[in-house]
């Protein structure tokens, strides 16, 4: 996975910070978006974040593990 790839959320991921559902549980499963960044280094040093893939759904962004996403064609 790399920045610019289109992906679909393949597992149930519940967030509470979605702009249209602020403070309420919102499941992102089935939503499609674009990978904005894959975090693997910080200031030139390698890191191992728990949720390294940042996906944008319009103006809303969320962090994911790579096994929670699948590429779309």
Instruction: Provide the CATH number for the domain around residue 11.
Output: 2.30.30.50
- What tens digit of pLDDT does each residue of 15-63 get? 999 999 889 999 999 999 999 999 999 999 999 999 999 999 999 999 9
Tell me the C-alpha distance between 38 and 51, whole Å: 9
Domain span including residue 20: 6-71
Tell me the C-alpha distance between 4 and 52, whole Å: 15
Tell me the C-alpha distance between 52 and 40, whole Å: 7
Look at residue 28 and tell me if it is in a domain: yes
- What tens digit of pLDDT does each residue of 20-29 get? 988 999 999 9
Number of domains in the chain: 1
């Amino acid at each position: 996975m790399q920045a610019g790839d289109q992906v679909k959320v393949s597992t149930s991921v519940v967030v509470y910070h979605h702009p249209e559902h602020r403070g309420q549980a919102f499941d992102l499963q089935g939503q499609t978006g674009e990978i904005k960044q894959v975090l693997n280094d910080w200031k030139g040093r390698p890191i191992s974040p728990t949720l390294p893939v940042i996906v944008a759904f319009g103006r809303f962004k969320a962090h994911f593990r790579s096994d929670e996403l699948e590429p779309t064609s």
